Structure 1
Amino acid sequence: MSRQQSIRKNFLFQLLISSASLIFIFSSLLYFYIEKSIYDEKKDELIHYAQNISNYKAVYDFGELPDNFLSLSIEVISLVSDTEHIEVYEKTENKKTYLTLIYPFDSKNDVYLKLIKDISPTKHLLKKILNYIFIINIVGFLLVILYAITLSKMLVTPIKQLSHDLANMNEHLMRPIQMDEIPQEFAPLARTINHLIARIQNFVKYQKELFIGTAHELKTPLAVIKLKNQVTLIKKRSVEEYIEAINTTNKTVDEMNIIVSNILNIGRQEGAQLDKPQQVDVISFLKQKANDFKLLAENEGKTLEINFTPDVFMATLQVGLLNQIIQNFLQNALKFTPEDKKVILQSSQDDFGLLIEVIDEGCGIDESVDLFAPFKRQGNKSGVGLGLFLAKSAADALGARINLTNRDDGIDGTRACLQINSQLSCILPQK
């Protein structure tokens, strides 16, 4: 059974270990520095006394004797040594500590000065300093513990708030997270959650419309089939009339099959959203789709004009979802564009990322209608009304933006736009 890890406990443990190590290292360096400074001072003091004696001066050449001057012992000793050197060492006797200096006095005759100073008060002072540092370390470590606990609570608070907000949501009450109430470190997480909430809201909204629309779309042809069959059974008819009635029924069944096929496409698209994203050159993909639809446009007496910039745009995404969007845009554009007119497929870069546009010369749209809802149709062309619904779902899964507007250049027609976020893409230099 796997054991769950606690970020807060790990943070507290690492912070306490690092703080304790830092306090120990800093205190040790401070103590050793104080100890060395005091010992250097005592050593310099003994050397000063020895130099005064060697120069046949007074041991202490100031107006008043220092308080600890009486703790100084001076001897003249003989040592056999090949070099002149100053030796300083420390020793402890009878619970007292002495600092001894051996200083050359008459090197020709191997005569040295031996100065001994009682530094027990100094050792006692150092012990007091060490105790104070130890107490300060304990107090400081306790303060670090309190600070770490407070800081960890403060860091976990936004996560708890997010969890609380999400726990109180359901399909009937879903609100986006307020970004101004979230620390900037958690802003990417909040944006991701808001994106998911928006997708769930659209899913719930459109799924309800899909179920209602499916029931309505299937109910009408079923009623037609039943009525035709009832009329046919009322009286005996000729073979030709029976054939005509059966053909009408088959035509209605075909329309129902189209509806069912489109509904199955919705299920296939939801499966495509789980496909592993691939790195693809979007511009190369658009050129391939343009070549496919150019032939279809020429057969219908229409022109497909292309204009792609930049030359290369690498993105990591599900190619099947991108294909579904572009194919729907081009199919609708060619469907509503009259003969001898043109459809434009173009791309450009903007602040969001890569902007892909399909512009036609059709009848335009009613911008007050949500054309991305299931079974929404516009114009005088036949269709089930699920194409744009599938395109919208695919765009949401890609984290892209999709939009339909009328042309604003004085020409009748529709502009279908898809914006791929550059934060999920890698833009290569232009060739």
Structure 2
Amino acid sequence: MFSKRSIRQSFLIQLIFASASLIFIFSSILYFYIERSIFEEKHQELLNYAKNIAQNESIYGSEAPSPEMYLGLNVEIIYLDVTHLDIEMYETTKNNEIYLTLIYPFNLDELSYLKITKEITATKILLKKILNYLFVINIAGFLLVIIYAIGLSKMLVMPVKTLSNKLSNMNEHLMRPIKVEELPEEFEPLGITINHLIKRIQNFVKYQKELFIGTAHELKTPLAVIKLKNQVTLIKKRSPEEYIDALKVTNKTIDEMNFIVTNILNIGRQEGAQLEKPQEVDVIKILTQKADDFKLLAENEGKKLHIHLEPCGYMAVLQVSLLNQIIQNFLQNALKFTPKDKSVTLRSSQNNYGLLIEVIDEGCGIDESSDLFAPFKREGNKPGVGLGLFLAKSAADALSAKISIKNRTDGITGTVASLNLNSKLSCILPAN
């Protein structure tokens, strides 16, 4: 039922031990308080008898004695060969009966003392019954604590077992998000995290299938071209120049295949980058450095790159290589599809989610109904493999960031590529 690392077992032991200790301490304090209160009352009673007799008053003072007050009470005068004897009180047992005795100075000149004895057997029996009752109550309380601890521990681990059962029944074909509203409030963050992970796994499985199919298709076409070109070349003898032209076509096709393979290898490298240890960095500083690099590239192509970064500093804990990959892809695509003498804008701003990074171009726009982040998905008439946005989406998922690409809505043709970094692990730097 339990293991050495069982949290439930540890919780049960600690709760039972703490509750049993609390019950024992409380019962002990209660019993000693009752015992002390009763005996202090008996001591004070005998002391009052002695004071009344010493003052030549009625033994019971001004109170009218009841018959029960005479029971078990014995008063006598004794003579001792000592002087200045303090008040002494002690218990004795005789014939299974318990007596409480008080020695009180009466006449020190005659060395006489009052010896007042009161039978307290009934009181002792009462205290013994109280002790037995407390013992029975302690045992019953301890058993109730065990039952309560078992029930409470079972209730606490029930959400974990429920989550475990739901996750164990999932596979790559049947993955459903967990209903967070059905979980206890304390487990809601765990449910949200699991749903985020499930979503990432769903996207991963979906895109991996498309990646394998797309890779096979992309590599099959150039291989077929190479084979067909070689077959045509081998049909009859040709001049050296024709053989050279055929080899050039073959080499060009091989270069295209190498470019595809290189991009596929970048996917593996990015998965490795996702395992890198996150660093605390200034995102605005990284954006500024990346913008400076692409500003020169834009000028060489006859285009302009505008930069508007706010706030002045924004610290975040993330994998720098993944952030660089996303921003680089955004800027490369923006410059590639933006015509000459047009401009690209890199800007950032703070919102409720965190830091919003946007790259705005003046290109041909996109078809928003298509899945732009699918592998080998191409837009426009520019060359490319179609893996850039797929890698950017994977990197954004690893950063727990939101990524999107939409057409501009300000009346100008072009797109807006945005990355929204989560603010949970970030903070704004002061202006100074």
C-alpha distance in structure 1 between counterparts of 2:113 and 2:367, whole Å = 112
Aligned 8 A contact 2:365 2:414 in 1: yes
Instruction: Give the match's secondary structure for 1:338.
Output: coil
C-alpha distance in structure 1 between counterparts of 2:200 and 2:71, whole Å = 89
TM-score calculated relative to the size of structure 1: 0.93
Instruction: Give the match's secondary structure for 1:423.
Output: coil
1:119 Cα offset (Å): 1.1
C-alpha distance in structure 2 between counterparts of 1:354 and 1:12, whole Å = 45
Instruction: Give the match's secondary structure for 2:344.
Output: strand
| 1:351 counterpart residue number | 352
1:346 Cα offset (Å): 2.0
| 1:371 counterpart residue number | 372
Mapping 1:11-410, distance limit 5 Å:
11-60=11-60, 61-65=62-66, 67-77=68-78, 80-82=82-84, 86-106=87-107, 111-410=112-411
Structure 2 residue identity aligned to 1:327: Q
C-alpha distance in structure 2 between counterparts of 1:303 and 1:89, whole Å = 106
Instruction: Give the match's secondary structure for 1:364.
Output: coil
1:212 Cα offset (Å): 0.8
1:107 Cα offset (Å): 5.9
Structure 1 residue identity aligned to 2:256: E
Structure 2 residue identity aligned to 1:221: P
C-alpha distance in structure 2 between counterparts of 1:76 and 1:297, whole Å = 121
Structure 1 residue identity aligned to 2:317: T
Pair 1:424 & 2:425 matched: yes
1:354 Cα offset (Å): 2.0
C-alpha distance in structure 2 between counterparts of 1:423 and 1:377, whole Å = 34
The structure-2 alpha-carbon separation of the partners of 1:87 and 1:288, relative to structure 1 and needing over 3 Å to count, comes to farther
1:206 Cα offset (Å): 0.4
1:91 Cα offset (Å): 3.4
1:108 Cα offset (Å): 6.7
CA offsets per residue over residues 120-156 of structure 1, 9 Å max, x none?
Answer: 1111100000000000110111111111111111112
C-alpha distance in structure 2 between counterparts of 1:361 and 1:283, whole Å = 24
Structure 2 residue identity aligned to 1:12: L
C-alpha distance in structure 2 between counterparts of 1:88 and 1:307, whole Å = 94
1:110 Cα offset (Å): 5.8
- Say which is worse superposed, 101-110 or 182-191, in terms of deviation: 101-110
Instruction: Give the match's secondary structure for 1:27.
Output: helix
C-alpha distance in structure 2 between counterparts of 1:218 and 1:151, whole Å = 60
Structure 2 residue identity aligned to 1:33: Y
1:430 Cα offset (Å): 4.4
Instruction: Give the match's secondary structure for 1:143.
Output: helix
C-alpha distance in structure 2 between counterparts of 1:110 and 1:336, whole Å = 123
Structure 1 residue identity aligned to 2:348: S
- Say which is worse superposed, 420-429 or 52-61, in terms of deviation: 420-429
CA offsets per residue over residues 260-287 of structure 1, 9 Å max, x none?
Answer: 1100101111111222222222222222
C-alpha distance in structure 1 between counterparts of 2:413 and 2:67, whole Å = 106
Pair 1:414 & 2:415 matched: yes
Instruction: Give the match's secondary structure for 1:288.
Output: helix
Instruction: Give the match's secondary structure for 1:67.
Output: helix
Structure 1 residue identity aligned to 2:159: P
Instruction: Give the match's secondary structure for 2:71.
Output: helix
The structure-2 alpha-carbon separation of the partners of 1:299 and 1:138, relative to structure 1 and needing over 3 Å to count, comes to same
Percent sequence identity over aligned pairs: 70
Structure 2 residue identity aligned to 1:228: K
CA offsets per residue over residues 337-387 of structure 1, 9 Å max, x none?
Answer: 222222222222222222222222222221111101001111121111000
The structure-2 alpha-carbon separation of the partners of 1:44 and 1:160, relative to structure 1 and needing over 3 Å to count, comes to same
Structure 1 residue identity aligned to 2:344: V
C-alpha distance in structure 2 between counterparts of 1:82 and 1:64, whole Å = 32
1:72 Cα offset (Å): 1.9
1:104 Cα offset (Å): 4.4
How many residues are treated as equivalent by the alignment?
428
The structure-2 alpha-carbon separation of the partners of 1:301 and 1:21, relative to structure 1 and needing over 3 Å to count, comes to same
Aligned 8 A contact 2:407 2:416 in 1: yes
1:68 Cα offset (Å): 4.0
Structure 1 residue identity aligned to 2:15: L
Instruction: Give the match's secondary structure for 2:424.
Output: helix
Aligned 8 A contact 2:84 2:108 in 1: no
Give the unaligned 5+ runs of structure 2. Answer: none
C-alpha distance in structure 2 between counterparts of 1:291 and 1:88, whole Å = 98
- Say which is worse superposed, 11-20 or 132-141, in terms of deviation: 11-20
Structure 1 residue identity aligned to 2:321: G
TM-score calculated relative to the size of structure 2: 0.92
C-alpha distance in structure 2 between counterparts of 1:184 and 1:18, whole Å = 26
- Say which is worse superposed, 404-413 or 207-216, in terms of deviation: 404-413
1:173 Cα offset (Å): 0.6
Structure 2 residue identity aligned to 1:298: E
